[in-house]
Structure 1
């Protein structure tokens, strides 16, 4: 007899509202990180009398700030999803990034997922009926509701328990 493998189903995917909230919250965290990094560098530079570094940071062009912001964005998504399978926003909304079988994604999958966020118009990929963006489909990952995932996996492993009163 062939053993069955758990598969993610549409009913446990994060809603479009949760995905939108994740994007807004993560954007705020990234903005705070960019400001904090710049402020920290200036404060340390001035405390060590390195006014050249302080002046350099204070005189960055908009393009340079955007470049550093994109680097911080990459590191934020990559590191949080590699180590925790979720960003701070996903922690708040009780969602998590998983593979199609509900397990933790590989580093390669998270790397592809993170790079895919930089595709122009990637945000428009959510306009479909299913709430999966290009960074999900290109990396083979899913954002799901953590409690629903746990419950679905439990009933998959213990089908005799399905329908019992708790």
Structure 2
């Protein structure tokens, strides 16, 4: 007998509002991290008398250096937190999480692809379509789901699957 496998359905996907809230919250966290890192670099530079890193990160004026510094913070933030928990701070607050099509937790490689796609210019506008799925979701083949709906649907599926096995 071929068992039926669980799959994510569109009714449990996070809404565009939830996704926007995730973006805003996570962006604020990244700004705070950037400021904190800049302050640490400034203090360490003052204490050691070595200003090489300070000049490179803090004093360099230009959009390219700002973009690179922001991209590094973004990559480190999402890669660490989503690899460990499948959720960012924004996703914890909105009770959403990242899953694969079968409802399982994404691997490091899938989170890496997802994270690197976030630095594609204008990626934030990819949510304007009907489904509200960004390029970092589509390319990495991941889904952001409403955790309450996901857990409820998955529990129902597993319960029905268990009932189906009783007759075997």
Distance apart, 1:58 and its partner CA? 4.1
Distance 1:70 1:100 in 2: 28
1:32 corresponds to: 32
Q: Which runs of 5+ in 1 are unaligned?
A: 162-166
1:164 corresponds to: none
- In the alignment, is residue 77 of structure 1 matched against residue 74 of structure 2? no
- In the alignment, is residue 106 of structure 1 matched against residue 84 of structure 2? no
1:65-91 Cα offsets, whole Å, 9 max, x none, are 321111111111111111110111101
2:89 corresponds to: 88
Q: Figure out how many residues of one structure are paired with residues of the other and give that number.
A: 161
Distance 2:160 2:36 in 1: 50
**What RMSD in Å do the two structures reach over aligned CA positions?**
1.8
TM-score normalised per structure 2: 0.88
2:45 corresponds to: 45
Distance 2:161 2:81 in 1: 36
Cα contact 2:57–2:65 (8 A) shared by 1: no
- In the alignment, is residue 124 of structure 1 matched against residue 99 of structure 2? no
Change (3 A) 1:55 1:105: closer
2:6 corresponds to: 6
Distance 1:6 1:53 in 2: 50
